[in-house]
Amino acid sequence: MKIEAVDFFYLAMPEIHDIGDGSQDTLLVRVRGNNGQEGWGECEAAPLVSIAAWCCPMSHSGCKPVSYSVLGRIIESAADIQSLNAEVRRNSFDLLQADHTLAGIDMALWDLLGKQHDEPTWKLLGWKKPFPKTAYASQLFGDTPADTLQKAQRVRSDNFRAAKFGWGSFGIDLAADQAQVRAAREGLGPDVALLVDAGTIWGEDVETAASRLPVLQECGVLWLEEPFVSGALKAYSELSKLMRNPLRTAGGEGSHEPFMARNLIDFGGVGYIQIDAGRIGGITSAIEIARYAETHGVTYVNHTFTTPLALSASLQPYAGLETSSLCEYPVEASTLATQLTLESLSIDHNGQVHLPERPGLGMTPNPATIRQYLQPVEINLGDQTIYTTPSL
Amino acid sequence: MKIEAVDFFYLAMPEIHDIGDGSQDTLLVRVRGNNGQEGWGECEAAPLVSIAAWCCPMSHSGCKPVSYSVLGRIIESAADIQSLNAEVRRNSFDLLQADHTLAGIDMALWDLLGKQHDEPTWKLLGWKKPFPKTAYASQLFGDTPADTLQKAQRVRSDNFRAAKFGWGSFGIDLAADQAQVRAAREGLGPDVALLVDAGTIWGEDVETAASRLPVLQECGVLWLEEPFVSGALKAYSELSKLMRNPLRTAGGEGSHEPFMARNLIDFGGVGYIQIDAGRIGGITSAIEIARYAETHGVTYVNHTFTTPLALSASLQPYAGLETSSLCEYPVEASTLATQLTLESLSIDHNGQVHLPERPGLGMTPNPATIRQYLQPVEINLGDQTIYTTPSL
């Protein structure tokens, strides 16, 4: 099958708020083969910039538009998708945004290949069966410990078996943080897994981060997520060494290519590696890390805050890893995100998510939702129109 | 002084060739203050994508366009530029291309601040005097060892005191590589410093890279540059441990934020850290690495392949470091690059480059060159034009 067309649809809520909700827009990607079939994927963040990375002119041999390495290629097997990935990275290594653009295209190719072979993507990736994942509910800490207690009780009554609290004012005052973590544990009860997300608040300040470890250990927290900014390997390494089981560091969502994640494992000492398939370059790069994590005694977790399509794509890479059993599950996504696909990925009575057995990623974008939120883009260079949003 | 306008000029040669020459296009940035003064900078690679990172709509609180953090800010001191940098990185951490856009703006701000204070940028950066740098001529290996011998002889007669050879077919066949390195040394004579650039040819294959070490040691090569892809810290670390003085690994040009460079120093064991100020986020990020390198016993080197403006900007961050005495000097740049500025940075009879004493970066873009190579850009989103190339 030859790649005949790659089409981008920039979808956005009518108003974008200045909050940490990454589901307010998306860049949907449709790849069409010359067999008449189509696959769908999504790029994480800054849709216009990722479109520009697709259609920009070449700067030099190592800075070609992503389109150069994709259009017209033959895709028949998993190996063909892998070599397309290598080609994009070789031809566009000096085009920073290329990783995001590649991510959505790569997802769409795995979706398309699955439809062509009438197999779910996880099977094409080599997994014998998809293990269900325990969904954790991502929550902001409440404004007060009493609010956090209530939020935690609600999570528990909603059947979640794991919950993550973070952001808000967490990380600024030690006593307040202690009260918040204890309230979360009290509300969840002893059996629901508790995770804490520091949202990079401490930069690279190991000492301040370390002062939170006693309360995290006391409350049986499984992971402390992003105590530091993505690249601060030395700080990650030092803090990781101060932790006692079961507490471990978690990080990696900022990785936009596989080595960044591998370095967190090799040098940062993380116990959990969190991969956003929409940012690291897609399913191909994500499964590379899932396998690397497995052989290095690290637990793989998805990072997903948006649509059911992105969630399906982010679970495929570690579907067959039984011991990597947690998954991030978006609970507060925008209507754009929740209505993007005709199907959804819901949580069963055990708080678990099951990947579909349908071909490819098993998620069909809803044309009505696309039409409702579509932002038409046109880019002109000199007297040429080099990009215009295609028709649906 | 308030930042009133930031204007981008996308310049490109009439034809872009599929070769490793990064001087075929550039994104020139002009920043205007409300005091009537202006500063100039340049972003490395993929101009259209960096423009999109300036003007795109917000995706969420951590993915704002670069313009959000820049327009209207007050810049009176070096500290103001530093806090602007921190602001861009905080507000745009999920916008991958933002680092490139920031780079050109940051350079222009240092240029502007210099003009405002009537001081060269290196002085505002805290350096007492700028030490001259020994220019190394960047060359491709010849097609045959005889060609390389001739090239090396020419470099020597052109008064260069250092030369780098690389790319071409280097890295594929051990015997051929040995013959090439020996020819380069023979042509340079014993006193001209020899550097070798592997151009990431070995991916992360330490064994193949290590097989080249004997001939590099035999020929007194100072550094082996980019044996591996940017992120392969483990491979860098292993190879670095196999080297004997004076041979060291060099790398870092791919760094698009300071931690990537610091990790190469902390975990990769490089002896030379090579920073492209147009990619790492500008002069502010570059001097952070220059200071880090100095305190960690690592030599700082610029990575510059393009214009005199980019070269001046790339030398400022380590102008005052006497022991970091080498500099990359573009010798085969396009006419667009060589004619971009009214002034140039030439090499003296000792093969050294001296930074200008003029205010700011000391380089004035030539309006005629800008007009000749300008590519007008227009970006439309919905029924709004969100970007159009400003008038000169």
Mean per-residue pLDDT pooled into runs of 10, chain B (392 residues): 98 96 96 97 97 98 97 98 97 97 98 98 97 93 96 94 91 97 98 97 97 98 97 98 97 97 98 98 98 98 95 98 95 92 94 96 98 98 97 92
At a CB cut-off of 8 Å and minimum separation 6, what does B372 contact? none
Q: Would you call A267 and B262 a contact, using CB atoms and an 8 Å cutoff? A: no
Cα–Cα dist B54/B40, whole Å: 16
Domain containing B36 equals: 3-119+367-388
Residues of A in contact with B234 (CB under 8 A): 262-263, 266
Domain CATH code at residue A15: 3.30.390.10
A55 plus A151 within the same structural domain: no
A333 plus A283 within the same structural domain: yes
Domain CATH code at residue A272: 3.20.20.120
B111 is a domain residue: yes
Cα–Cα dist A375/A337, whole Å: 15
Q: What is the model's pLDDT at position B305? A: 87
Q: How far is A33 from chain B (nearest CA, A)?
A: 27
- What is the tally of helices (H) and strands (E) in chain A? 15, 14
Q: Is the peptide bond before A367 cis (omega within 30 degrees of 0)?
A: no
B90 plus B26 within the same structural domain: yes
Q: Would you call A60 and B233 a contact, using CB atoms and an 8 Å cutoff? A: no
A187 plus A224 within the same structural domain: yes
Task: State how many domains chain B has.
Answer: 2
Q: Is the pLDDT of residue A139 over 90?
A: no
| Interface residue A377 vs chain B (CB under 8 A) | yes
B359 is a domain residue: no
| Burial class of residue A295, CB neighbours in 10 A (0-12, 13-18, 19+) | exposed
Q: What is the model's pLDDT at position B94? A: 96
> Shortest CB distance from B96 goes to which of A16, A99, A259?
A99
What's the pLDDT band for A167 if we cut at 50, 70, 90?
Answer: confident
At a CB cut-off of 8 Å and minimum separation 6, what does B15 contact? none
Q: Are B205 and B236 in contact (CB under 8 A)?
A: no
Q: What is the model's pLDDT at position A155? A: 93
Residues of B in contact with A378 (CB under 8 A): 379-380
Residues of B in contact with A262 (CB under 8 A): 231, 234
| Interface residue A57 vs chain B (CB under 8 A) | yes
Q: What is the model's pLDDT at position A80? A: 98
What's the pLDDT band for A131 if we cut at 50, 70, 90?
Answer: very high
Cα–Cα dist A93/A173, whole Å: 42
A105 is a domain residue: yes
Q: What is the model's pLDDT at position B74? A: 98
B358 is a domain residue: no
Q: How far is B68 from chain A (nearest CA, A)?
A: 12
Classify residue B215 as left (phi > 0), alpha (psi -120 to 50) or beta: alpha
Report residue B318 CA to chain centroid gap: 12
Q: How far is A51 from chain B (nearest CA, A)?
A: 8
Q: pLDDT per residue over A25-70, tens digit each? A: 999 999 999 999 999 999 999 999 999 999 999 999 999 999 999 9
**Which residue has tokens 């949580």?**
A347
Q: Is the pLDDT of residue A312 over 90?
A: yes
B360 is a domain residue: no
**Which residue has tokens 């010359």?**
A34
Q: Are A302 and A293 in contact (CB under 8 A)?
A: no
Q: How far is B133 from chain A (nearest CA, A)?
A: 27
Q: Would you call B229 and A378 a contact, using CB atoms and an 8 Å cutoff? A: no
B22 plus B138 within the same structural domain: no
DSSP letters of B7-40? Answer: EEEEEE-SS--SSS-TTSEEEEEEEEETTS-EEE
Q: Is the pLDDT of residue A138 over 90?
A: no
Q: Are B203 and B232 in contact (CB under 8 A)?
A: yes
Take residue A391 and report the two structure tokens written for it.
Answer: 């028709």
Q: What is the model's pLDDT at position A331? A: 81
> Shortest CB distance from A97 goes to which of B49, B231, B380?
B49
A295 is a domain residue: yes
The mean pLDDT of A250-255, rounded to a whole number, is: 97
Residues of A in contact with B95 (CB under 8 A): 45-46, 49
At A68 the three-state DSSP class reads: helix
pTM of the model: 0.97
> Shortest CB distance from B49 goes to which of A10, A56, A263?
A56
Residues of A in contact with B94 (CB under 8 A): 22, 44-46, 279
A224 plus A346 within the same structural domain: yes
User: For the CA atoms of chain B, what is the radius of gyration?
Assistant: 21
Cβ-Cβ pairs closer than 8 A, A with B, add up to 185
At a CB cut-off of 8 Å and minimum separation 6, what does A334 contact? A13, A21, A23, A24
Minimum Cα–Cα distance from B12: chain A residue: A59
B238 plus B292 within the same structural domain: yes
Cα–Cα dist A349/A158, whole Å: 9
Closest among A278, A345, A380 to A29, alpha carbons compared: A278
Q: Are A24 and A36 in contact (CB under 8 A)?
A: no
Report CA-CA distances (Å) from B69 to A255, B9, B11, B61, B106: 23, 20, 25, 12, 12
B37 plus B182 within the same structural domain: no
Q: What is the model's pLDDT at position B270? A: 98
**Which residue has tokens 């679970």?**
A315
What's the pLDDT band for A147 if we cut at 50, 70, 90?
Answer: very high
B155 plus B209 within the same structural domain: yes
B178 is a domain residue: yes
A9 plus A132 within the same structural domain: no
Residue type, B233: L
Q: Would you call A266 and B44 a contact, using CB atoms and an 8 Å cutoff? A: no
Residue type, B131: F
| Interface residue A262 vs chain B (CB under 8 A) | yes
B247 plus B198 within the same structural domain: yes
Cα–Cα dist A138/B231, whole Å: 30
Cα–Cα dist B211/B189, whole Å: 24
B362 is a domain residue: no
Report CA-CA distances (Å) from A178 to A197, A218, A239, A243, B328: 14, 10, 18, 17, 52
Give the containing element (helix H, strand E) for A346. Answer: none
Q: What is the model's pLDDT at position B172? A: 96
Closest among B75, B122, B33, B56 to B313, alpha carbons compared: B122
Total residue count of chain B as it appears in this document: 392
Q: How far is B291 from chain A (nearest CA, A)?
A: 17
Q: How far is B306 from chain A (nearest CA, A)?
A: 12
B95 plus B158 within the same structural domain: no
